[in-house]
Amino acid sequence: MMLPDQVTLIPQYILFKQFGWIDTWQPLWVPAFFGSAFYIFLLRQFFAKIPEEYWDAARLDGAGHLRYLIQIVLPMSKAPLLTVVIFSFIGSWNAFLWPLLVTTKPTWRPLMVGLYTFVTEAGPETQLLMAGAVITLIPILILYFLTQKQFTEGIATSGLKG
Q: What pLDDT, on a 0 to 100 scale, did the predictor assign at position 104?
A: 85
> CA-to-CA distance for 80 and 157, rounded, in angstroms?
8
Mean pLDDT per 10-residue section of the chain, whose length is 162 residues: 78 89 84 72 89 93 93 89 84 86 84 85 83 90 85 61 50
According to DSSP, residue 31 is labeled G
> CA-to-CA distance for 37 and 26, rounded, in angstroms?
21
According to DSSP, residue 49 is labeled T
- Give ∠ CA 18-21-23 in degrees, rounded to 5: 130
Q: What pLDDT, on a 0 to 100 scale, did the predictor assign at position 144?
A: 84
* CA dihedral angle for residue 146, residue 26, residue 95, residue 12, rounded to 10 degrees: 140
> CA-to-CA distance for 6 and 147, rounded, in angstroms?
30
Q: Are 5 and 99 in contact (CB under 8 A)?
A: no
Q: What pLDDT, on a 0 to 100 scale, did the predictor assign at position 157?
A: 58
> CA-to-CA distance for 146 and 140, rounded, in angstroms?
10
Sign of the CA dihedral with 44 first, then 83, 81, and 19 last: negative
Q: What does the domain layout of the chain look like in residue ranges?
A: 5-36+78-157
